[in-house]
Structure 1
Amino acid sequence: MASVDVVVPNYNYGRYLRACVESILEQEAVTIRVLIIDNASSDDSAEIARSLSRDPRVELVLRSENLGTHASFNEGIDWAKADYFLLMFSDDFLVPGALKRATDAMEADRSIAFTYGRDVPVKGNAPIPTVAQQPDPPPLRLHRSRDFIKRFCRLGVFQIPGPSIVVRTSVQKRVGHYRTALPHSDDYEVWLRLAMHGPIGELDCIQAGIRSHDANRSTELWAHQIQHILHTAAAVQSFFDHEGGEMKGSGALRRLARRGIANRAYWSGISHLLRRNREAIDLFKLAFRLSPLSALIPPVAYLANRPDTLRRIATFFARRLTLPTRRMR
């Protein structure tokens, strides 16, 4: 059986920790090790972690001071020695069979650097939902290294469900640590570096669950879209200033990323303008600074490249249509 090392960083998520770790330990047809790294939580996380460590597959690092998320990520990378590696926050969870589906795909094609799948969203403290049995093996779509990086640059972002990303450990070791200079977009930059080492496998199935709540690492960031875009731009710049700069045609990819980020800012500005949100002004300023031509010619082609364009448009108009009814009530 393939072996998977899973690192679970935790800070004051005791209420979610047990369900997260149990969803890992219950994975079948793979050999599991789990490392829980607690960053000096003030809730009952340490007590829950100790109870989970009664399973010999669970190891603990209980810190007396909070060293931050990067220290946990990077300690986990150094600790890993299995065939495959997964980093997931303690408020997320795996669906049954997720690790087998991921490792089977990478065992069949040894060139794949990492796989990812779809996620099921969970809000607040809602219980983990029952997920229908997923296809095994699921349909697999391969993204060539350069295609994956190019798509990220063209769109100015490429969202992947983090807890579904299973990485070949040898590739993660070559890529190395998360960069502490990127507090909110370190994952994006690591994905780009990983993509340099082989194709990426996209599994057409639900692999993990992502919980959204007020204490999420990214909740505050997502509340201000321009900050998220700026952090994404910082990740792209870091990538091309380091390993990405060694790629053939890196200059053209860097320029593509600049346009992609500008176009993303432009259409985010349009969305905020339609909602009468003052952040639209800052988004337009950013878009025009990065791509002055967008002030004259709207970047319509960008929308055609986004896979979620139709869904976003439908959601927007659905909300507009319900407004009169709500006002009448």
Structure 2
Amino acid sequence: MASVDVVIPNYNYGRYLEACVNSVLSQDMAEIRVLIVDNASTDNSVDVARRLAASDSRVKLLLRPENLGPHASFNAGIDWARADYFLLLFADDFLVPGALRRATAVMERDCGIAFCYGRDVAIRGDVPIPEIEPQPADPPLRLMTGRAFIERFCRLGVFQIPGPSIVVRTSVQKRAGHYRTALPHSDDYELWLRLALYGTVAELDCVQAGIRSHDANRSTELWAHQTLHIRHTADAAESFFYHEGRWLDGAETLRRRARRGIAERAYWSAVSHALRGNGEAWKLLMLAFRMAPATAVLPPLGYLLHRADTLPRMRSLLSRIQR
């Protein structure tokens, strides 16, 4: 039986922590360990964590006396992991029943898969975890070479991946190494690119995890301010191609393509914001022009053809404008 180590970083998410941990412990896997890394929370997180550890020996604790920041928690988890597979799950998110078995079964059949992910369900605020429709035990999947995965990012300038669903082969995670502290908001993007250097990527056509959005999310401010998010994405790409990605065949061409893809994403984000009357549209447009001056002359229509969500997003935007 495959084994899985799940690291749950936490800071002041005591109100979500128990539900998150229980979503892991209730998975139909024989060998699971959970490490809760608490970053000196000031709410009831430590009490909740201690109670969970006392009631289940699979739960381990790393309770920091001072807040060392999220990177220290992520990287301590990577050092701690020793199971076959590894998952980083934020304390405000959760796993869907059967998620770990589905992911590990796919990876057990193909040892060339570096990591696996699926779709997510979104919930807002402090609502309880909803009933999730049962997912297929053996869902359809799409396999991509690591290079194809990297090229897709370069083309789109974004990852459309729910982070809490990413199950990584631990040996690959150890080789890829730690999250880079120089990237405070796009560290995950950069690490996913590095992981793809070590094998195939599997995309499951099923719901694997839940993502909770609320005002205290680490990424809430970034998603609310697209210019910042896109700039941090550009930082992740530059970091990757400056370090491990520089050894890829055609690395400089890929780096330039990533810069253009990020610029084209900024361009269309500017259009979307302008249609909604959002003042950030001008900043996004200027960012696009700086990164790819050609967008000031010719709209990057080809970008829209590469995004699977173009039509749904356009319908949603038009409906919002009509209302």
The TM tier, using the shorter chain, reads over 0.9
What is the distance in 1 between the residues matched to 2:268 and 2:30? 44
1:284 is aligned to 2:285: yes
State which drifts further: 180-189 or 22-31.
Answer: 22-31
- Residues 69-123 of structure 1 deviation map (CA, whole Å, 9 limit, x = unaligned): 0000000000000000000100000011000000000000000000000011010
The Cα shift of 1:290 comes to: 1.3
Could you say which residue in structure 2 is the equivalent of 1:22? 22
Could you say which residue in structure 2 is the equivalent of 1:141? 142
What is the distance in 2 between the residues matched to 1:242 and 1:290? 21
Letter in 2 for 1:224: H
Question: Does the residue aligned with 1:35 lie in a helix, a strand or coil?
Answer: strand
Question: Does the residue aligned with 2:151 lie in a helix, a strand or coil?
Answer: helix
Could you say which residue in structure 1 is the equivalent of 2:247? 246
Could you say which residue in structure 2 is the equivalent of 1:100? 101
What is the distance in 1 between the residues matched to 2:236 and 2:307? 20
The Cα shift of 1:2 comes to: 0.5
What is the distance in 2 between the residues matched to 1:283 and 1:221? 13
What is the distance in 1 between the residues matched to 2:27 and 2:254? 39
Could you say which residue in structure 2 is the equivalent of 1:51? 51
What is the distance in 2 between the residues matched to 1:154 and 1:127? 37
Could you say which residue in structure 2 is the equivalent of 1:297? 298
The 5-angstrom pairing of residues 164-203 of structure 1 reads 164-203=165-204
Could you say which residue in structure 1 is the equivalent of 2:123? 122
What is the distance in 1 between the residues matched to 2:257 and 2:282? 23
Kept in 2, the 8 Å contact 1:2–1:83? The answer is yes
Gaps of 5+ in 2: none
- Residues 43-88 of structure 1 deviation map (CA, whole Å, 9 limit, x = unaligned): 0000000000021101001111100000000000000000000001
Question: Does the residue aligned with 1:7 lie in a helix, a strand or coil?
Answer: strand
Kept in 2, the 8 Å contact 1:11–1:38? The answer is yes
Could you say which residue in structure 2 is the equivalent of 1:158? 159
Kept in 1, the 8 Å contact 2:71–2:180? The answer is yes
Kept in 1, the 8 Å contact 2:275–2:321? The answer is no
Letter in 2 for 1:168: R
Gaps of 5+ in 1: 323-329
Question: Does the residue aligned with 1:277 lie in a helix, a strand or coil?
Answer: coil
Could you say which residue in structure 2 is the equivalent of 1:37? 37
Could you say which residue in structure 1 is the equivalent of 2:311? 310
Letter in 2 for 1:48: V
Question: Does the residue aligned with 2:198 lie in a helix, a strand or coil?
Answer: coil
The Cα shift of 1:276 comes to: 2.1
The Cα shift of 1:282 comes to: 1.2
Kept in 2, the 8 Å contact 1:2–1:103? The answer is yes
What is the distance in 1 between the residues matched to 2:238 and 2:263? 14
Could you say which residue in structure 2 is the equivalent of 1:270? 271
Kept in 2, the 8 Å contact 1:30–1:100? The answer is no
Could you say which residue in structure 2 is the equivalent of 1:64? 65
- Residues 129-172 of structure 1 deviation map (CA, whole Å, 9 limit, x = unaligned): 11111101111110111110000011001121111000000000
Could you say which residue in structure 2 is the equivalent of 1:132? 133
How many residues get paired?
322
State which drifts further: 161-170 or 273-282.
Answer: 273-282
Kept in 1, the 8 Å contact 2:276–2:321? The answer is no
Question: Does the residue aligned with 1:268 lie in a helix, a strand or coil?
Answer: helix
What is the distance in 1 between the residues matched to 2:235 and 2:73? 22
CA RMSD of aligned residues (A): 0.7
Kept in 2, the 8 Å contact 1:4–1:30? The answer is no
- Residues 259-304 of structure 1 deviation map (CA, whole Å, 9 limit, x = unaligned): 1011011111111111222211111111111111111110000001
Letter in 1 for 2:44: D
Could you say which residue in structure 1 is the equivalent of 2:81? 80
- Residues 234-270 of structure 1 deviation map (CA, whole Å, 9 limit, x = unaligned): 0000000000001011011001101101101111111
Question: Does the residue aligned with 1:172 lie in a helix, a strand or coil?
Answer: helix
Q: Sequence identity of aligned pairs in percent? A: 68
- Residues 184-242 of structure 1 deviation map (CA, whole Å, 9 limit, x = unaligned): 00000000000010010001111010000000000111111000000000000000000
Letter in 2 for 1:39: N
Letter in 2 for 1:280: A
